[in-house]
Amino acid sequence: MVVGGCSGPLSTLDAAGPAAARVAAFWWAMLAGATALTLLVFVLLLLAFVRRGREGPASPTLWIGGLGVAMPIVVLLTLVGYALMLGERIIAPGLSGTVVIDATGRQWSWEFSHRVRTETQVTENELHMPAGQPVVLRIAAVDVIHSFWVPRLAGKMDAIPGHVNVLRLQAVEPGVYEGQCAEFCGSGHSGHLFRVIVHDEAGWAAFQRGEDR
């Protein structure tokens, strides 16, 4: 039961791409830190019961200044700094030299426009991409706010009407990866799902020719 959520089509811990791997590593680091802090709290609580009734000096500098103020500031600044650095790596820095796909969310489907040479191939609820290559997604919406999320490949990115957000996606191996909208967007939200079909070199070439759609 403890490890039941560590795998599966929508598991963030079963990473299949570099961006998802960084997110998973960040999660494990936070879990380790939270476990250590929890153990510290229980040890201090145990000591409080053991030392009950005993007289002894207490240092406000240590307990309030050190553990109450300084330690949380250091922990939170470290987490925020790493999260910002992780976000910069996930967001695509540029569009040149990579596959560019427009992802448009609506109630309750996703439309993907694949720019293939001089043509555009449009699919509904199926995003096609090559394995081992970074893909740039230009994410937007036409009605309400949605959120694009493929847990095994990358973190979440909001789809906002009138605004384009950019996300870099990469899959290590060919396969089919499940995605979903991660922002409540109305009565059909639970069915606002899509698939990411990652092709090998031959399969991607066939898709570009319009043979695998």
| Alpha helices in the chain, H assignment, sequence order | 18-50, 60, 71-90, 201-208
Contact present, 106 and 142 (Cβ < 8 Å) = yes
Rg (CA), the chain: 23
Token pair of 19, please? 């961006």
pLDDT of residue 125: 95
With 0-12 / 13-18 / 19 or more C-beta atoms within 10 angstroms meaning exposed / middle / buried, residue 107 is: middle
pLDDT one-digit tens code per residue, 171-206: 999 999 999 999 999 999 999 999 999 999 999 988
Query: Domains along the chain?
Result: 10-56+91-213 (2.60.40.420)
* Backbone dihedral angles phi then psi of residue 24, each to the nearest 5 degrees: -65, -40
* pTM of the entire predicted model: 0.78
Residues near 11 by beta carbon (within 8 Å), at least 6 away in sequence: 5, 151, 152
CB 134 within 8 A of CB 18: no
* DSSP symbol at 161: B
Give per-residue pLDDT as tens, 116-153: 777 788 999 999 999 988 898 999 999 999 999 999 99
Give every CB contact of residue 132 below 8 A, 6+ residues apart in sequence: 170, 171, 172
Q: What is the pLDDT of residues 46-95, one digit of tens each?
A: 877 877 766 666 666 777 777 778 888 888 888 888 878 777 766 655 55
